[in-house]
A and B are shown apart, each in its own frame.
Chain A
Amino acid sequence: DAGVIQSPRHEVTEMGQEVTLRCKPISGHNSLFWYRQTMMRGLELLIYFNNNVPIDDSGMPEDRFSAKMPNASFSTLKIQPSEPRDSAVYFCASSLVPQEETQYFGPGTRLLVL
């Protein structure tokens, strides 16, 4: 079975540009999570969806960040406008049941904002 799929794997952009990261969760999983990993802050949860509905977006850094999940098999994380401090690895993860089940992570998108 396919795991969590993320695209692109690498993204280099200039400050001020819009960036869109994409995620396809594991089929049948109804919970989806976006994380960001940096050296300074480690792994931090940005937003959590359950059954395509955003449940908690308290980790989203600021209004420049937005996330959507239009259906059970696709989610996007958008940064507009991007800034150099957004440079990080962004992971998408999915699970069957958020509390009890294991979160399986995608390969991540390495974002560099110049």
Chain B
Amino acid sequence: AQKVTQAQTEISVVEKEDVTLDCVYETRDTTYYLFWYKQPPSGELVFLIRRNSFDEQNEISGRYSWNFQKSTSSFNFTITASQVVDSAVYFCALSGNDYKLSFGAGTTVTVRA
């Protein structure tokens, strides 16, 4: 069975601060895929990134960066110089040998102006 844990329920920061969202996963599959999705107040689920278990390279996309560490089963997400538009719920998710996408409980990020 797969499990994704997002220990941080809510994070509140002031604009321009950096914020890091933690994600820890459990799986017995040797091949698996990790995802981050963003759910803004409007409610849609927006795909941000996908990583497979064989690619531990960190990735940067604009103000977003991801740190994948297989040794600690973590796939953390950092928003640099946060903006009000980053306010959303962020979900980490995992899929293994089957098709099922297991979601974490989500972390609500509030960026105050």
Q: Which positions in A face B, CB cutoff 8 Å?
A: 31, 33, 42-43, 45, 48, 50, 55-56, 89, 91, 93, 98-100, 102-108, 110
Contacts and interface: CB of A to CB of B under 8 A. Distances in A.
Nearest to A105: B45
Given A55-B99, A106-B44, 6 more contacts: A48-B100, A56-B100, A93-B45, A100-B52, A107-B44, A108-B44
A107 B39 CA distance: 10
B: interface residue count bin: 20 to 34
A42 B106 contact: yes
A43 B103 contact: yes
A89 B106 CA distance: 15
Interface of B: 33, 35, 37, 43-47, 50, 52, 91, 95-101, 103, 105-106
B49 to A, nearest CB: 9
Given A99-B33, A102-B50, A31 B44 contact: no
* Nearest 3 CB-CB pairings of A with B: A98-B99, A105-B45, A43-B103
A42 B50 contact: no
Given A43-B91, A107-B43, A108-B44, A99 B98 contact: yes
Contact of A45 (B37, B50, B101, B105): B101
A107 B43 CA distance: 7
A76 B91 CA distance: 26
Contacts of B106: 42
B28 to A, nearest CB: 15
